[in-house]
Every structure is written in structure tokens, then in C-alpha cells.
Structure 1
Amino acid sequence: MPQGGSPFRDEMPQEPMSTPSPAPQQPQAQQPPQPPQKKRAGRDLRSAIGVGLGLGVVIVASLFIWKAAFVGVIAVAVVVGLWELTSRLEERKGIKAPLVPLAVGGAAMVVAGYVRGPEGAWVAMALTALAVLVWRMTEPPEGYLKDVTAGVFAAFYVPFLATFVALMLTADDGPQRVLTFLLLTVVSDTGAYAVGWRFGKHKLAPKISPGKTREGLLGAIAFAMVAGVLCMTLLVDGGTWWQGVLLGLAVAASATLGDLGESMIKRDLGIKDMGTLLPGHGGIMDRLDSLLPTAPVVWLMLVIFVGSA
């Protein structure tokens, strides 16, 4: 048998097995580039605008028709704001700031400021703090210190700061002063939102409010300064354009700090909004955040610029 032959003559030598070559892949069709997604606001803008316009009508109507009615609007906003704040403190931190003395004292504080001026506001603030201390004594002593501390803080933060709006109203051109205060604060917030939404890249305070940017702050300052010039020359008796510039700058700063301050409180509580009363806005406190610290700033600057009468 020849070397390397097959032992069986009818057996044909087998061809070596070859690995099948992979089928050629069809080139994938390239997906057209997706257009960049537009930034969207985090809230329902349609509801927010509708609620904002409704509140504006109520405020302006009460402001210019009957001053006492506007004082009532302030008092109602204060009581609702205190209810929201104390409710969130109890839900998230177990802090029971007494609502009854806060609500009664807060409303009285606003009325006292309108009727008796700054002295009346200070006396009402002191009495409200005392009422908080006494009211809390009716419950067990555990947690007393944190409850009354939160109560005194709430009394100062909401009704006492809101009292400066009532103080503005006591002047002869009080409705114009209050309208100036409201317009400047709203315009500042709007400028910060519009410029920050369109051009914002550099975070202002990322650990407190990630949505706020330095560009938005510059927008707030620019918008508020322009609005300040218009309001001081067209609305406030004896006002000048340079006073409007300074007033707008101060409002932009105080409104931004107020917004950051409430953001700090909400971040500590672990919540997004203080309430759900106003569709598209959150709660009353979510609308008062920039107004409350701005009220004493505007009141003081108007007193310096044009007097308190």
C-alpha cells in the first residue's frame, strides 16, 4: 500500500473543511442628526401665567380702590404663608411651631403697622413672640426650644417683613409705592428667568439653587434698573431717574437673596415647593420668597429718597 494511501479503495479523500466567510454586512443607514432640544420650563407656564394675572387683578383692584382691602389681602397672604411654613416644618422635621398665635399675631402685625406705623409693627412682633412662648407651654416640654425658635423665626420671616408693604401704603402716594415695589420685584424675577434660561451657563449658587445662574443675576439687575427708572419718574412723587437705578439694583439683590434663602429652607426640608395652592407656582410662600425681604429694602430707600409722607 502506497505510503499515505487510504486503506479502502472506495473511500475518497476528504477535502479539508473551510471556515465559511462571514456575510458582508450591509452599510447601516445613517440617522439624520437630531435637532437640539429646546429648554423647557419646569412648570406649567399656561397655568402660571393665568394664576399670575388673576392675582395681579385682585392686588391692583384692592390697592387702588380701597387701601384697607389691600391690607386685608396682605393679612390673608400672611396667614396662608404661615400655615404652609409651619405645616412643612412639622411634616419634614417634626417641629411644631404654634400656628394659632402666629396667625392671629401675624394678621395683627400687618394691621398695626398700617394703623400705628413702625412702632406698632414692633410692638405686635414682640407680643406675637411672647404669645408663641406661652402657647407652647400648654404641651409637653420635649422639643419646646426648637418649636418656639421656629415660631419666632416664622413670625419675623413672614408677617413682620410683610408689614413693610403696609407701611408703604400709608404714604399719600402709597398705592404707587406698593405698585413700584411689586413691579420691580416681578421684573427682577422675570429678567433673571428669561436671561438665565436663554444664556445661563455659570451657576450662581449650585448647592442652594442649581437653576440660578450669574447671567440670570445680570439680567435681573438690568431689567430691575430699567423698571426702577420708569417707576421712580412716572409713579413715585418726587422721584428721579438715578434713584430708580439705585432702587432697581437694590431690588435685584434683595429679591435674589430672598429666593436663595427660601431655596435653602426647602432644600433643608427636602421639598420642591412649600405648597400646591397656586397651580404653576406652588404655594403662597413660593411667591412671597423674593417679595418678603425686598419689602423693607424698598420702604427704607423710598423713605430716604422721597420721605415717608
Structure 2
Amino acid sequence: MRPQEPAAPRAAKAKKSAGRDLRAAIGVGVGLGAVILASLFVYKPVFLGVIVLAVVVGLWELTSRLAERKGIKAPLVPLAIGGAAMTVAGYVDGAEGAWVAMAFTALAVLVWRMTEPPDDYLKDVTAGLFAAFYVPFLATFVALMLAADDGAWRVLTFLILTVVSDTGAYAVGWRFGKHKLAPRISPGKTREGLAGAVLFAMVAGALCTQFLIDDGVWWQGVLLGLAVAVSATLGDLGESMIKRDLGIKDMGSLLPGHGGIMDRLDSLLPTAPVVWLLLVAFVGS
């Protein structure tokens, strides 16, 4: 009797999976993009309201997860009010206004927590100060970009480069990724994905700076794209560290296919000051 040929290993036949609901993710992404573009180019203060809403929801997600997983009670009320004030102050009064609002937010966190027993006071206010810096203060740099004469185009460039960087990393890493970038932090990220993020962002940066930014030159966009790819990747890894410490996969579930608001802000927040600073250096404020 002819021996039966062994079946091909199941693993060899398995196809790579995207790891998320792409249909839902694309639908939510298109919807968010439409809201952002409409508010950004119709009336700047409306987009400022979008930033404030994202900040408040992001703070709610972050403080909720800290309380659930670690028992850390970072005071949400002063953080939300101070975060909103910080963002508006940055748009109206510039960097000085944002710093003043940040200082008062920190003070409010310290005082608000005094209304409860002193146990874990230091842990709670430290988490509150971290949340104030991580979410609203970094988001304020988007408001600073928005306040420029060509602010809508600066913000659009910032959003395009961050999204393109994330997309390049995901697409190239999913197709060609073999070498892990930071396996203990984010096993899905690869060095090939980082190379894809850099390449995609540099090309997009050259195009955006040349055609969207007043007095911008293509080579400035190449440098801008490189910086965005690095900061976006570090931001993603940073939130991955937070989520691993908390023992969760996503910060929330408000956005089907994406997770929570903070899961979309992870690469945007640390990238905002980078883009703001480089654009000011290249073409002025």
C-alpha cells in the first residue's frame, strides 16, 4: 500500500491576519476624517472644540483605566476643566497661555485631591500631573498650529503625516515584517515596519510641505516626515508600555476597529510638538 503523504502543516497554510476588524476601522476612520476636515476648513473654533472634546474623552479613558487596573484615583474634574482651558489658552494666547493654564491645572489637581483621605495622595497626584502633561498639554500644540495664518493647512499636514506614518508601518510590517522592533513592548512592530513608516512619511512630508505650507520647501518636508515617523513610533510604543503595565489591550471601546480615543491619540500627541516646532523653525509662526 502506498503510504499517505503527510498533510501540509496548518501553520504553513495560515495567512497573515490584519488583527482587527478592517471594515469597521475603515468606516470609523473615514467618518472621523470627514468630521475633522469639515470643522478644520469651515470654522477654526469648531475644530478647536473637536480638540477639546478629544482631550476630555482621552482623559476620561486614561483616568478610568488607572482606577480600574491600579486603584489610582487621578482627579478627572480638574483635569478635564484644566485640559480644556489649556487647549483654548494655547489657541488664544499662544505658548505662554498654555503654560499658565498647565500650572493652574497642576495646582487644581493637588488641591482637589486634598478633599479625600491622605492615603495614596502622592500616587494619585503624580498620575494626575502625568495625565495633564500627556493628554491636554501635548494636544495644545495642535491648537498652536491652528492659530497660525495657514493653521488649517499646518494641522492637515500634521494629521496626514502621522496617519501616513502609521499606515506605512502597518502595511510594510504586515507584508514584510520579520525582525521585531521592540518585542517586549509591542510584539507586532517590526524594523521593516519602521522603515516603511519613515519612507511613507518622508514622501508625504515632501509633498505636503511643498504644496500645502506657505513658503515651505520639499526638503524641509523630508526632514519633517523623518521626525514624524520617529515620534509617532515612540508615541505608539509609549502607550503600549502603559497598556502593558495596566494589563489591557485597548484604552477604550468608543471607536469600533480602533479601540478608544487614546488608542488613536497615541501617535498624534507626541508628534504634535515635533511638527509645531519644525514648522516654526522652517517657515515661522
When the two structures are superposed, what TM-score results if normalisation uses the length of structure 1?
0.90
Deviation at 1:41, TM superposition (A): 1.1
Deviation at 1:69, TM superposition (A): 0.2
What SS is found at the alignment partner of 1:29? coil
**Structure 2: runs of 5 or more not aligned:** none
**What is aligned with 2:196?**
219
* Amino acid across the alignment from 2:104: L
What SS is found at the alignment partner of 2:248? coil
1:152 aligns with 2:129: yes
* 1:274 equivalent among 219, 226, 251: 251
Counterpart CA distance in 1 for 2:13 and 2:165 is: 29
Deviation at 1:37, TM superposition (A): 1.8
Deviation at 1:191, TM superposition (A): 0.3
What SS is found at the alignment partner of 1:254? helix
* Amino acid across the alignment from 2:216: G
**What is aligned with 1:13?**
none
Deviation at 1:33, TM superposition (A): 3.6
1:58 aligns with 2:29: no
**What is aligned with 2:159?**
182
The CA deviation string for residues 137-179 of structure 1, in whole angstroms up to 9 with x for no partner, is: 0000000000000000000000000000000001111000000
**What is aligned with 2:4?**
29
Aligned 1:124-203 pairs, distance under 5 A: 124-203=101-180
The CA deviation string for residues 244-292 of structure 1, in whole angstroms up to 9 with x for no partner, is: 1100000000000000000000000000000000000000000000000
**Structure 1: runs of 5 or more not aligned:** 1-25
**What is aligned with 2:80?**
103
* Amino acid across the alignment from 2:152: P
The CA deviation string for residues 99-152 of structure 1, in whole angstroms up to 9 with x for no partner, is: 000000001111010011000000000000000000000000000000000000
Deviation at 1:27, TM superposition (A): 4.1
When the two structures are superposed, what TM-score results if normalisation uses the length of structure 2?
0.98
**What is aligned with 2:221?**
244
**What is aligned with 1:262?**
239
Counterpart CA distance in 2 for 1:28 and 1:109 is: 74
**What is aligned with 2:205?**
228
Counterpart CA distance in 1 for 2:96 and 2:151 is: 18
Deviation at 1:303, TM superposition (A): 0.2
* 2:26 equivalent among 49, 58, 63: 49
**What is aligned with 1:9?**
none
What SS is found at the alignment partner of 1:204? strand
* 1:76 equivalent among 53, 58, 81: 53
Deviation at 1:28, TM superposition (A): 4.4
* Amino acid across the alignment from 1:52: G
1:305 aligns with 2:282: yes
1:121 aligns with 2:102: no
What SS is found at the alignment partner of 1:149? helix
Counterpart CA distance in 2 for 1:189 and 1:178 is: 17
- Look at both structures and tell me which one has the larger radius of gyration over its CA atoms: 1
